[in-house]
Amino acid sequence: MSVRSVILFGLLFLLAACGNRNPLEVTVSRCPAIAVVGDAGTLTRFEGEGRNIEDVAFTASIMDVRLTCEEAEDVTSDVSFSVAATRGDAFRGGSVTLPYFVVVLKDNSQIITKKIYDVTLNFDSNGRASSREVLEQHIPTIEQARRYNYEVLVGFQLTAQDAIFNMER
């Protein structure tokens, strides 16, 4: 058996393993893309004027972002993500409420909606807190979903000082 025959047999075997599906078929999804905005995915708050490790009240992050989507006459997607925080030495209290945003963009530049939500994190005895957030996003018609590219972005609603700290770190 030649090398060419072995390669051909291997390719035929792989195609058969795929069932009757065409391996070259392109599936176009009308579901939005999802991402965390780079510098808005982490939030560090300080107590007092210092910016040293002992001045950190807490650090929170948005992570494990997922999107499930259903395409029918319209496009409905569930956006879910975790918000987790670690308490710093300067934190006084048991919980913190943080604002975060969800933005829907059309064609990567035009903001369709922006909503701000709050999440309350209750720290445990180890200084950790987390919450799983689930939101529904809706594109009214499948024609709109076909015409434009949609993207869902999430991040913390930062103050100017928070944003500067994130860019400098």
Tell me the DSSP string of 40-90. Answer: GSEEEEESSS--SGGGEEEEEEEEEEEEEEEESSSEEEEEEEEEEEEE-TT
89 within some domain: yes
φ and ψ of 141, to 5 deg = -135, 150
99 neighbors 117 (Cβ within 8 angstroms): yes
The SS3 call for residue 11 is helix
56 within some domain: yes
Which of the pair, 151 or 3, is modelled with greater confidence?
Answer: 151
CATH number for the domain harbouring residue 106: 2.60.40
Q: What is the pLDDT averaged over residues 103-119?
A: 90
The confidence score (pLDDT) of residue 17 equals 52
Q: Give the chain's mean pLDDT.
A: 84
52 within some domain: yes
4 within some domain: no
Number of domains forming the structure of the chain: 1
17 within some domain: no
Domain that holds residue 94: 26-168
pLDDT digits (tens, 9 = 90+) for 19-78: 556 667 666 677 888 999 989 999 999 988 888 888 899 999 999 999 998 888 888 889
pTM for the model: 0.78
